[in-house]
């Protein structure tokens, strides 16, 4: 059940509900939000939830169509741009090829239970960094 009335002003609850529809993972790459990915020779990136219009607003002229919105990570949202696909499956195939071409690697995937617990996620990520020998600034 989606609640947002004005898509420019999504509340945290609205975003949570949208993310819950895809199991708190990106609709395109299917990687859990909060995962850490890295491109070669670049700093790691934490995947964040973006609200993506599956059919771009430039084509529909409607920003308020809730059925046209999917939960996407910032990387997939940027890779998809204004491309139109006939299905999410075809969008996944296209975006997967772009991920491989760009050389993205997934370094850390949190447990789903930590999605709602930022402190738990931070502890889990700190444990992961310690196992790789990386020190966190706060330590």
The answer, yes or no, to whether residue 129 has pLDDT greater than 90, is: no
C-alpha R_g of the chain? 16
pLDDT in tens, 92-105: 999 999 999 999 99
What distance in Å separates the CA atoms of residue 74 and residue 76, rounded to the nearest whole number?
6
* Model pTM score: 0.77
Q: Give the model's pLDDT for residue 114.
A: 53
Q: Measuring CA to CA, which residue among 11, 39, 35, 38 is closest to residue 23?
A: 35
Specify the 3-state DSSP secondary structure of 50: strand
């Amino acid at each position: 059940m989606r609640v947002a009335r004005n898509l420019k002003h999504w509340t945290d609850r609205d975003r949570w509900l949208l993310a819950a529809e895809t199991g708190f993972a990106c609709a395109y790459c299917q990687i859990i939000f909060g995962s850490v990915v890295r491109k070669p020779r670049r700093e790691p990136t934490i995947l964040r939830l973006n609200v993506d219009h599956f059919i771009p607003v430039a084509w529909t002229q409607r920003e308020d169509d809730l059925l046209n919105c999917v939960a996407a990570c910032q990387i997939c949202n940027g890779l998809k741009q204004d491309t139109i696909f006939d299905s999410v499956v075809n969008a996944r195939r296209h975006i997967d090829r772009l991920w491989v071409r760009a050389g993205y690697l997934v370094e850390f995937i949190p447990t789903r239970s930590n999605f709602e617990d930022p402190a738990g996620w931070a502890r889990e990520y700190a444990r992961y960094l310690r196992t790789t020998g990386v020190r966190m600034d706060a330590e």
